[in-house]
């Protein structure tokens, strides 16, 4: 995204300009922010809640909450990061509602040792995705990531899929930077291990 720089002033992210206009009652400016980020918010919500209806509700609630709280947005973080924090909290709330009587937190199940040491050391095919159709591949990727503990999954999604920095991910989730790094590595290794079942070279590949 381009950064607008005016002579003699600091760089201003285009989102900040939109936020300022929205604060003054310009709903169209907020509409631009919605159109820019609704898909990302939906993806994050779906990853956390694992439920389509909940994810759709989170999109609505997160943007409405952001709109209500625009005055509280300090501008010392990116608007997107601030919005993601709201969306993550809304998603966890939805998840808690569905699992009444059960505590739900992003610290759930993170003590597992699974995947911390690679076991499947087979080489993958050169273009592993190519052997599957789009919908089959998407199903494999969904199934695989759904198997991760929520506390690993959300870190991987924010950091590696949605492109937040380590620091932004830590801030968003209320975790320390070392905790994010440790969970991210474990998430990456667990996913790699599980995907290996689908993408590893088969014996017959070598014979070709």
Partner 1 sequence: MTCTEFLAELGEFLDANVSVGLRADLEEHLEGCEHCVITLRTTRKTIEIYRNHEIYELPVGIRERLQAAILAKCKKGC
Residues at the contact surface with partner 1, assessed by CB under 8 A: 27, 30-31, 34-35, 38-39, 42-43, 46-47, 55-56, 59-60, 63-64, 67-68, 116-118, 121-124, 128-129, 137-138, 141-142, 145, 156, 160-161, 166, 181, 184-185, 188-189, 191-192, 195-196, 199
Q: Is 106 exposed, middle or buried (0-12, 13-18, 19+ CB in 10 A)?
A: buried
Buried b (16+ CB within 10 A) or exposed e, 21-45: bbeeeeeebbebbbebbeebbbbbb
Taking the least distance from each CB to partner 1, the nearer of 104 and 148 is 148
* Number of continuous H segments (helices) and E segments (strands) in the chain: 9, 0
Least distance CB 66 / partner 1 (angstroms) = 10
Q: Which is nearer to partner 1, 1 or 117 (CB)?
A: 117
The rounded distance, in Å, linking the Cα atoms of 91 and 67 is 17
Given the complex with partner 1, which of 12 and 29 has the nearer CB atom?
A: 29
- Residue 110 CB, nearest approach to partner 1 (Å): 15
Task: Considering the complex, state which of residue 12 and residue 182 has its C-beta at the smaller distance from partner 1.
Answer: 182
Please state the closest distance from residue 188 (CB atom) to partner 1, in A: 5
CB of 4 to partner 1, least distance (A): 24
CB of 81 to partner 1, least distance (A): 18
Of 5 and 60, the one with the shorter C-beta distance to partner 1 is: 60
Tell me the β-bridge partners of 12.
4
Separation CA 73–CA 156 (nearest Å) = 25
Which lies closer to partner 1 via its Cβ, residue 12 or residue 114?
A: 114
Residue 95: how many CB atoms within 10 A of its CB? 21
The nearest distance, CB 181 to partner 1, in angstroms, is 6
d(C-alpha 202, C-alpha 41), whole Å: 38
Exposed e or buried b per residue across 50-75, where buried means at least 16 C-beta atoms within 10 angstroms of its C-beta: bbeebbebbbebbbeebeeebeebee
């Amino acid at each position: 995204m381009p950064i607008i720089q005016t002579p003699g002033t600091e760089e201003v992210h285009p989102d900040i300009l939109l936020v300022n206009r929205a604060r003054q009652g310009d709903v169209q400016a907020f509409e631009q922010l919605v159109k820019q980020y609704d898909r990302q918010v939906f993806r994050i919500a779906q990853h956390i809640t694992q439920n389509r209806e909940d994810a759709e509700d989170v999109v609505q609630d997160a943007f409405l909450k952001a709109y209500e709280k625009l005055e509280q947005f300090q501008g010392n973080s990116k608007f997107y990061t601030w919005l993601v924090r709201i969306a993550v909290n809304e998603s966890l709330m939805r998840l808690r509602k569905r699992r009444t009587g059960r505590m739900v937190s992003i610290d759930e199940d993170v003590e597992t040792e699974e995947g911390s040491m690679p076991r499947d050391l087979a080489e993958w095919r050169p273009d592993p995705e190519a052997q599957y159709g789009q919908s089959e591949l998407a199903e494999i990727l969904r199934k695989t990531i759904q198997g991760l503990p929520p506390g690993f999954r959300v870190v991987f999604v924010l950091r590696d899929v949605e492109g937040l920095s380590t620091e932004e991910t830590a801030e968003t989730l209320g975790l320390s930077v070392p905790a994010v790094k440790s969970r991210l590595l474990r998430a990456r290794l667990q996913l790699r291990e599980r995907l290996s079942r689908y993408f590893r070279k088969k014996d017959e590949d070598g014979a070709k």
